[in-house]
Structures are given as C-alpha cells and as structure tokens.
Chains A and B, each alone.
Chain A
C-alpha cells in the first residue's frame, strides 16, 4: 500500500549561507532515485516536509522553481531541533523529503494580470520560487507587470542577494528592495518598512493581484495599504505558517476552523481567511 508518510531519500548537493547572521542557509537537494525527482512535481507556493532521520521532520516552503531542473531547494532558518541539526550537516549528507504538499499560488487566476509581490525577511522563499518561475522566457508573457517589494531588517538579512541584484538589472520586473535601516553609506536601494515602501511604489490595483508573505506584523500593516490601493480581498493572497506534523491533513494539528493549513492551504486569499476563525 502506498505510504504518504515515507520520505524520498535525498543527498545534500549544495549549502549556501544566505544571511550575515548565518541563521539562514539554502539547501539544494538531489534525489537519490531519479524516479522520485519526477514524482516530486511541484508548483510555486507549495511546501515539503524535510526529514532528518533521528531528529524529525519540518514543513518548509519550496524555494526553487519547477523550471530549475535536477534539484530542489529550501531556505532553512535555524530555530529548533531539526533546523539546528541541518545547519551542521555537510554537502553529501543523506536525508529525506516528503511532498510536495499543500496548495499553491493561484497561477490560473494570476495569468494576464499585474503581479505585486510583497515579501519580508526570511518568508521570501516561495516568492523567490514564484519570481524565478514567472521570469522564465516561456512564462513571462503570461503575466503583465511584475512588481516586487522585498524588505529585511538590514542588508545582511536579505535572502538571495546575488539574484536580487540581477533582477534589479532586468527591465521586465520592477524591484523595490528595502531595509528597515542601515549604516551602509553605499546602500543604493530603499530604506523604510515594507508597508510604507509598498504604499510609495505600488500605485494601482487595476487588473492586479498581490501575493504577500512575511512576518505577521508586516502582513498586518501591509493589508490596509493594499486595501486602500483598491485590492479586493479576493486578490490579496497570503501564505500561512502553522505547526505541522503529517502535512497531509490527517494528524489534526494545523487546523484553522474546518480548514487544514497543510492541505487546504498554506495559500489562502484574504477573502477566504476572513471567513475563517482568526486563530493563526
């Protein structure tokens, strides 16, 4: 009988330290069995359970894009038993991945629209996946303007800095990188909180859909900005976090009302969230 709890074995192919505080590392995994690579067909916005035998499993958003072949990547913050252990693992080590899990950003609905991406801190992972996916030549024409507001507390805490710099140079994506503050005199991007920069840089909600991913405080203050711009709740898309175990809607842990974040989410529109108890 097929076992949805059984992880695919993977090898750590590459580890990149992302932030100056060294608390965030990106792990690139290669499947030990090539057929598992095919089974792990995902869509940006989904997550997976990273499985370290002897330590446990953690739900983490997929940071790579399905257009990047041959590996799958996750950016992991050092917070608990599994993540601390992972931060001490080496390239070549074996662990497991279970997924892909959950739903994804509403790609069908996003087609033909202006895309506004608002991200904060280390919640930028599935947004990175989405951006890489959208700017591929075969996908770019499916979307109109793409605007990205991405902020962190200081420049050292921004993820994927090389890529951000590359995207800044492109003319088919409007990047608005910001930090809460910096003492770097050469800082050439914005200074200010994400909601304020969103208010300055995003001028219209016409034919637009916003995807927001970040710490609760950022989401709380970004929401009224987007509503003021004219985004209806159906076109404000959020991705939630919750403590999870099974990831497939069975273990009963991550519910908000009658929805499970792991299976019915993690992506919800603000309209949908408003119908659910505010218990997240």
Chain B
C-alpha cells in the first residue's frame, strides 16, 4: 500500500502531468457548486467542498448515450442495419469522488453486470475508470452513509483514497489499479508515520461524527405486499411534484429510456436517464397505466430502493446515503423518514 504526501499545488501539478495516461476528471468550483470537469491547464481542481452537486454517476453512465447508429437512406446498401457506435474506453480517473458516490457504483453494479447480461457500455466504462476517492472529514447533516453500509472513509470500490490532512494530502493506493495509477503520478514524498497516524485519526473522528441512525435493519424481513399496502404512501407522496430531481441526482438510480433519433439520413439509437416519477414511464400503448397516480410513483421509488432491491439482491438498500435527494427535494420529502416508516411498519 503506497502512501504519498502532496501539497495541494503538487497534487494539482501531478494530476495535470498524467494526461498522457489518463483522462482526469476532478471537482471544479462552478458558481456556488462544485462539478466534475475534465482537467485542463487553465482551471485548477478545488478539493475544498462538501460534495459535488451532481454525483459522478454520469461519468460512468452518461445522462444521454449513443448506443447504435444506422443509415435510413433507402439507396444505401446498409440501410437499416444497426451498428454499435464507436466508443473511447481509454483509461480515465475520477479524482475527488466522495466514498458515498463511489459506493453508489457498487450498488448499481449487479444491475448492469450480472451472470445473465452484461451492459457493455456501463461495464467497459466502469472497468476503464480509476476511482480516486476523497474521504469526508466533516460529514454533513443530511448525509447518512454510515446507515447504509458506507462511511466517510469507506474504501468500497475505490482504487485510491485521499486524506485531506489540512496542509497536505495523503494519497493511498488501495487496489492494483490504484497502485498503477500512483506509479504514473509524479512528485510528492513517501508518507511518514506521523501523517499516517494523522490520517487514521481523521477517519476515526469522522466515523464518530456520522451516526448510523437511519433504521433499515428490519426491511428484509417485511413482506413486499404488506409494505406496498401500508397506509402511509398517500401521506408520503402528498407534496411530491413528480419533478424527478431525486432520481436525476441519485447516484444509485439507473433507469433509462431508449429512443431513436434521425437527422437527415443518419440515425442514432440513444439511451437517456429516465425517472419512475414520470407518468409516461409506465404508460402502455393501450392507454392503460399501472402507475397513473402520483402516490404510486412515489411508492415505487422508495419501495425499489428500500425493499425490492433488498429482496432481489439479498443485500443492503439501494441508497448510498449521499443525502442529495434530501437536500434538493423542493417539498422536503426525506428518504430517512420514509426508511423509518417502512422499517418500523
């Protein structure tokens, strides 16, 4: 396990220096928020943030992604023959991703990569990415990673972990992929024992601050139909605007739509993030809609995250505890309260 100490300037320079080997995405201050952007020489990354407004989900699984292309020119010999859109899966690195957002990738992984089917785009994108996490010294009030199998310095699926020691960063290799990344990173110096101790103390302190107070322990034992018929869904969904913000911000929402688009004689088949909050999501060709009421769609979102996923994968909940849906919901619907309602029902 390699531990290297960098000053912030050294770290920025080191990242700029690996552009031959990796396409680096790092958080950049953009107005009031931080956003992952490709590194360039003009704008330095900024690692002083609570979390980026959007998770890094789109860097592995783009909001809109070309799948196939084809010609619709009837005179062309290959008209209507669908071909894969060429993609670039050369190595990339997401630097400064919070452990909760990285944990999100491991939550969605069994959906995209399982024994029956492998989603070629998600899998290749994920496998070509080095995840360089940034531990959370100060978990915020809406975060609850420790309640859902994570933690402020959780190493799950991370290849490298950065400890922000104040004056310096300590960068630690966690996997072979991460160690390879660190061999390309120039500069810095080997971490001394004192820094390693300081890093460990930071992690311990942060773990103490992040309380595991969102109950999910009894969800697995519940019966789906009982929870589905619970009396609280109308209340939970009452204020919902079906805006879909929660699903777009969520690192673990994976639903998508597939659409064909034609420009001139050239066509593309594209997949776009979709949301179970929208009535069109389930509208049949016949006009029938199994979820035509708002509360049904709200119920679907929470049941999927906190019960269907749990049962299907015999695992934890489909939530990484990043708290974005809690912070950005315009009507203050709080998944922590819904988890409690469901868990205690």
Q: Does A18 contact B (CB under 8 A)?
A: no
Chain B residues near A1: list those with CB within 8 A. Answer: 118, 120, 123-124
Residue from B68, B117, B225 within 8 A of A6 (CB atoms): B68
Per the CB 8 Å criterion, the residue count for chain B at the interface is 52
Residues A253 and B274 in contact, CB atoms below 8 Å apart:
yes
Which residues of B lie under 8 Å from residue A257 when comparing CB positions?
224-225, 228, 303, 308
A165 within 8 A of B: no
Q: Does B84 contact A (CB under 8 A)?
A: yes
- For residue A216, which residues in chain B have a CB less than 8 angstroms away from its CB? 288
Q: State how many angstroms separate the Cβ of A91 from the closest Cβ of chain B.
A: 15
Chain A, residue nearest B313 (CB): A258
- B308 surroundings in chain A (CB, below 8 A): 255, 257-258
Main secondary structure of the interface of A (DSSP, over half): loop
Bound-state CA distance A253–B225 (Å) is: 19
B284 within 8 A of A: yes
Q: Is A192 positioned at the interface, with any CB of B under 8 Å from its CB?
A: no
- If over half of B's interface residues share one DSSP class (helix, strand or loop), that class is named, otherwise mixed; here it is mixed
Query: Does B116 lie within 8 Å of A248, measured CB to CB?
Result: yes
Q: Is A251 an interface residue (CB 8 A)?
A: yes
- A262 to chain B: closest CB distance in Å? 11
Q: In the complex the two chains form, is B120's CB within 8 Å of A3's CB?
A: yes
Q: List CB contacts (< 8 Å) of B287-319 with chain A.
A: 288, 290-291, 296, 300, 303-304, 307-309, 311-312
Given A3-B84, A5-B67, A245-B256, A276-B224 contact (CB < 8 Å):
yes
* A70 is an interface residue with CB less than 8 A from chain B: no
Tell whether, in the assembled complex, residue A54 and residue B260 are in contact, meaning their CB atoms are under 8 Å apart.
yes
CB distance from B268 to the nearest CB of A (A): 10
Q: Decide: B120 and A280 in contact? CB cutoff 8 A.
A: no
Given known A2-B118, A95-B80, A277-B228, contact A251–B256 (CB-CB < 8 A):
yes
* Distance of A58 Cα from B283 Cα, bound (Å): 13
Chain A contacts of B255 at CB under 8 A?
Answer: 251-253
A94:B116 contact, CB within 8 angstroms: no
The size of the chain A interface, using a CB distance under 8 A, is 46
Q: Quick check: is B70 within 8 A (CB to CB) of the other chain?
A: yes
Render A240-280 as a binary contact track against B, CB cut-off 8 A, 1 for contact. 01110110111111011110000100000000000111011
Cβ of B72 and Cβ of A53 under 8 Å apart?
Answer: yes
CB pair A56 B288 closer than 8 Å: no
Closest to A78 in B: B285
A263 to B112, CA, bound (A): 14
Task: Give Cα A141 to B48, complex, Å.
Answer: 74
Quick one: which of B67-93 are within 8 Å of A by CB? 67-68, 70, 72, 79-82, 84
Report the bound CA distance from A4 to B283 in whole Å: 24
The answer to whether B258 and A241 touch across the interface, beta carbons within 8 angstroms, is no
B19 within 8 A of partner (CB): no
A243–B118 CB distance below 8 A: no
B258 contacts A57, CB within 8 Å? yes
Note all chain A residues with C-beta closer than 8 A to B288: 216
Q: How far is the CA of A83 from the CA of B67 in the complex (A)?
A: 22
Chain B residue nearest to A245 (CB atoms) is: B258
Tell me, rounded to whole Å, the shortest Cβ–Cβ distance linking A239 to chain B: 14
Rounded to whole Å, the gap between the CB of A167 and the closest CB of chain B is 28
**Are A56 and B284 neighbours in the complex by a CB distance under 8 Å?**
no
For residue B266, which residue of chain A has the nearest CB? Answer: A54
For A50-90 the 0/1 string (1 means CB < 8 A from B) is 01111111100000000000000000010110010000000
Chain A proximity of B248: nearest CB distance (Å): 14
The reply to whether the CB of B269 lies closer than 8 angstroms to some CB of chain A is yes
Given contact pairs A251-B256, A252-B255, a sample of 5 additional A-B residue pairs in the complex whose CB atoms are under 8 Å apart:
A1-B123, A79-B285, A96-B82, A250-B111, A253-B257
18 A-B pairs with CB atoms under 8 Å apart are A1-B124, A54-B72, A54-B262, A83-B285, A96-B80, A242-B284, A242-B290, A243-B281, A246-B256, A246-B258, A248-B116, A251-B258, A251-B274, A252-B256, A256-B290, A257-B225, A258-B309, A277-B225
